[in-house]
Structure 1
């Protein structure tokens, strides 16, 4: 087993206009780590002309890179290219780490040096308050089965966990630490799906095709979702379905899993349709239903589709009568969908 002090970690902080005002708090959390990083790279898209003032000993570890107009995946890739550490940890501006986060990640690599990457659990932030709803706790039964323990609340998938992500996506960017060389070899963060809601799912799928894949079942990460609510959940379900569709069309290594991937696409679109119906967005109900294979249109789906096709007065009356049905079957989970 190697000494944790030999495991250098670069931290990449991606910063956009939406959360630029919160960058000082993110940097404070990064610099307060009990096991300090080798360097800290802030990559911004014209939201931050200069970094906040800080002590000289801290400033020496810090670099600011500018990538005007870029979205977060491209910002993270620019930071990855500039990183010097053996490992690279990512944290979006506005998100926070608890002080022992990097120390625990280093411990995972000390125990299992063959790890390619690890994700840590997260809770939502409300202002300065850390929430209690753990993202990993929302995973369906069996999602975490089959792992090998590395210590208390630390474990590893010895086989690629990609099939599990077809059911549920719990992994958030600010909880990722990865071997720099591995991440560079697989192409870093996926930038082709940047415009799709839930676009980080594309990178999670890319990484989940590999093992050893570490899991920190401790909520050491606080995240500040940039959007929330039923409309966002509907959009993310549709975005993730499109990401899966695109991956299947472009990557022949996935063709052996085509049946289960297509089923996952259908499930996400069915979930989006249920949310759209509960929201009263009947135009979206029609649009989403048109994307479902005929054989996958269940009786509730056909009922909702028939209602959406009615003239407006009848549609409003029917929607009011059936809203309870639609709403009761709409499940919103954090951070997945």
Structure 2
């Protein structure tokens, strides 16, 4: 196995330093690193130059600015590895990340896509929760039903997945052109629907940083992207009623947050788009009427009350991480986790 690590970045030099520190700290150092710069105008190139001598193979690839999906595909085309690992420039890896993920591929040679758990953090380092909700079922194999697929793809982040390049050859590249950076969901759904052997690893190996600059921080744009995913699903002649029902439920679940955050005109446009996609639906129709009746402020109060109650039912973990700490110390402060001993030991003996 040869792994290609791809970091896609656009004007994220201030985050990129921290991401590169976590890549340089990997217990398994035998990888090529490709940094795809999507036309940045900041000092990204200087940041990369300051780290290049810390890697065995490191290439800086600058391209005209397009979008994240196109940058991912650009990196894949340049990669020489059998396995691909993305790290978004504002996220952080545990030193055990590559060793742990590659161990899964060794234990399951048929695996094509492996994902792990992530801790969600704010820019201050406050840990706000886990990507995997409690009770999420384990996965090791192809996903055979729509329910299994819908229990899988919402809990996969690009920075927390490794996949084989042969899977790309089989199902195709990422969908370019998404303005929200939500190109990963359609690709993961496509992989799962086409029988990819998937493994879910319930270990905190990634810190996913949520901040105002995230492409995925804008709920209304993500909602539109989700509706486009649904439209793509409906074009598939093999889509069944269970998948359509699950997609409708996921759309409904996003309505309260939209009503609480955005003005009536924006919500009306989004809800009417949802009705065109899903057809007649009393919840979507009621929410649409609420925008005409001036009920969005009431929805905002109800949504905040719900979040308040959820906070006390399951408060944030309360940790505030020092994001400037060495990666080893940073992840040790989260919780003791077993080191991927076989892979790390093999790397150590190889370098001795």
- What's the TM-score bracket when you normalise by the shorter of the two chains? 0.7 to 0.9
Secondary structure, counterpart of 2:15 in structure 1: helix
In the alignment, what sits opposite 1:223? Answer: 208
Change (3 A) 1:170 1:201: same
Question: 2:50 aligns to what?
Answer: 53
5 Å-filtered alignment, 1:300-311, equals 303-310=286-293
Distance 1:269 1:235, change over 3 A: farther
Question: Aligned pair in 2 of structure 1 residues 14, 305: CA closer, same or farther (>3 Å)?
Answer: closer
* Alpha-carbon separation, structure 2, partners of 1:283 and 1:158: 42
Q: Distance in 1 between matches of 2:150 and 2:6?
A: 28
**Secondary structure in structure 2 of the residue aligned to 1:189:** coil
**Structure 1 residue 89: Cα displacement:** 0.9
Structure scoring higher RCO (CA < 8 A, sep ≥ 6) equals: 2
Q: What is aligned with 1:4?
A: none
Aligned ranges 1:146-157 → 2 under 5 Å: 147=139, 156-157=140-141
- CA deviations on 1:11-66 (whole Å, 9 max, x unpaired) are 1111111x22221221111111011132111111122334232474x344110111
Q: CA deviation at 1:326?
A: 5.5
Structure 1 window deviating more from structure 2 (263-272 vs 61-70): it is 263-272
Using the alignment, how far apart are the partners of 1:74 and 1:266 within structure 2?
29
CA 1:64 to 1:195, structure 2 compared with 1: closer, same or farther past 3 Å?
Answer: same
Query: How many Å apart are 1:99 and its aligned residue?
Result: 0.5
Partners of 2:258 and 2:123 in 1: CA distance? 29
Closer, same or farther: CA 52–288 of 1 in aligned 2, 3 Å: same
Residue in structure 2 matched with residue 21 of structure 1 by the alignment = 14
Query: 1:185-264 counterparts in 2 under 5 A?
Result: 185-192=170-177, 194-196=178-180, 198-209=182-193, 210-227=195-212, 232-249=218-235, 252=236, 255-264=237-246
Residues 112, 164 of structure 2: 8 Å contact kept? yes
How many Å separate the matches in 2 of 1:66 and 1:176? 24
Tell me the CA shift for residue 166 of structure 1: 3.4
- Tell me the distance in 2 between the aligned counterparts of 1:287 and 1:62: 45
Q: Structure 2: state its 5+ residue gaps.
A: 315-352
Cα deviation, residue 128, structure 1: 7.0
8 Å contact kept, 2:122–2:210:
no
In structure 2, the CA distance between the partners of 1:327 and 1:108, relative to structure 1 (3 Å rule), is: same
CA distance in 2, matches of 1:321, 1:66: 48
Q: How many residues align?
A: 300
- Map of 1:90-169 to 2, 5 A cutoff? 90-127=86-123, 129=125, 131=127, 133-137=129-133, 143-144=136-137, 147=139, 156-160=140-144, 163-166=147-150, 169=154
Once residues 37 and 130 of structure 1 are traced to their aligned partners in structure 2, the CA distance between those partners, rounded to angstroms, is: 32
SS of the aligned residue for 2:210 comes to coil
Taking the aligned partners of 1:161 and 1:82, their CA distance within structure 2 comes to: 34
**Residues 7, 86 of structure 2: 8 Å contact kept:** yes
TM-score (normalizing by structure 2): 0.73
CA RMSD, 1 decimal: 3.2
Of the three residues 260, 263, 266, the one matched with 1:281 is 263
